[in-house]
């Protein structure tokens, strides 16, 4: 994932990102914003990268993203419900992404 972050910040300019890791330091999510209304989310559990725009998911920019820019956090799993996946929990609660 570091290659992708380097690519975006070097070639896209004005980009920012944050990382959520588990307690052992393994990256669970990397969220990138290009500063032009596009977002990318890498999910380690599924190995996927999903992209969104402000118009598709307007709550991302109003989520915790602005407070977390360029930081690494340990994922707090308190309140995690076994009926949902970690990805659903992170996307819904922390990013405001509606599926």
Give 55-65 pLDDT, tens digit per residue.
888 777 766 67
What's this model's pTM, rounded to 2 decimal places? 0.72
Task: Report the percentage of the chain scoring pLDDT > 90.
Answer: 1
Task: Report the percentage of the chain scoring pLDDT > 70.
Answer: 70
Place of tokens 């914003």: 33
Least Cα distance to 42 among 64, 51, 74, 61 occurs for: 51
For the CA atoms of 94, 88, 46, 64, the dihedral, rounded to the nearest 10 degrees, stands at: -10
Give 29-49 pLDDT, tens digit per residue.
888 888 888 888 999 888 989
């Amino acid at each position: 994932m570091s290659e992708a972050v380097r690519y975006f910040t070097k070639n896209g300019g004005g980009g920012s990102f944050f990382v959520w890791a588990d307690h052992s330091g393994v990256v669970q999510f990397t969220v990138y914003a290009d500063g032009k209304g596009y977002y990318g989310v890498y999910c380690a559990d599924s190995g996927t990268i999903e992209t969104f725009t402000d118009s598709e998911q307007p709550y991302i920019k109003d989520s915790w993203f602005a407070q977390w820019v360029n930081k690494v956090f340990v994922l707090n799993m308190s309140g995690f419900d076994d009926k949902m996946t970690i990805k659903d929990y992170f996307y819904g609660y922390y990013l405001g992404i509606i599926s």
